[in-house]
Amino acid sequence: MLKRILSHKARIFILLAVVSAMLIACGKKEESVDKIRDLDFTVLGADEQPDELKEIIAEKQKEPFQISYTLGSDIYIAIGYGEQKSGGYSITVDEFYEGETSLYIDTTLIGPKSAESVTNTVTYPYIVIKTENIEDKLIEFH
């Protein structure tokens, strides 16, 4: 009889574990985005950026920012990571693609390596990319 009770309790425990796992999996569904295509872009140095965009960046650079600036048939996307205590930072564009209703961009700030010699001056790392202006699409930053 004791074996039977344990067996019954074990079955209930397993059933509860399976149901819990299913509920957790359903709750963690992320919104899927239909990628239409990867987008070509050019990373611009400060001397290649429009003057008005440089002024906007200078005003916002102390805090993290994400902005877009349209000029003719081009769109400029600028992403800044705010004030950092030293130099030696870089930024990578991990993904940049067109979806059904939006353009999606994902970047990463990479800190200086521990063995790297960096300036101990405050810096404001940011990246500006230039791409074709795809009208009527929002830009979503990730």
pLDDT averaged per 10 residues, the chain (length 142): 52 53 52 85 97 97 97 96 94 96 96 80 97 91 92
pLDDT for res 33: 72
Say if residue 94 is in the same domain as residue 44. Answer: yes
**Tally of residues, the chain:** 142
**What is the total count of domains within the chain?**
2
pLDDT for res 114: 76
DSSP type of residue 113:
P
CB 67 within 8 A of CB 60: yes
Say if residue 115 is in the same domain as residue 46. Answer: yes
Residues paired with 93 in a beta bridge: 107
Of 133, 137, 102, 124, give the one whose Cα is nearest residue 54: 124
Say if residue 80 is in the same domain as residue 20. Answer: no
pLDDT for res 29: 46
Say if residue 126 is in the same domain as residue 66. Answer: yes
Say if residue 64 is in the same domain as residue 112. Answer: yes
Say if residue 108 is in the same domain as residue 88. Answer: yes
Tell me, yes or no, if the pTM score tops 0.95.
no
Domain span holding position 102: 35-141
Say if residue 60 is in the same domain as residue 91. Answer: yes
Say if residue 95 is in the same domain as residue 111. Answer: yes
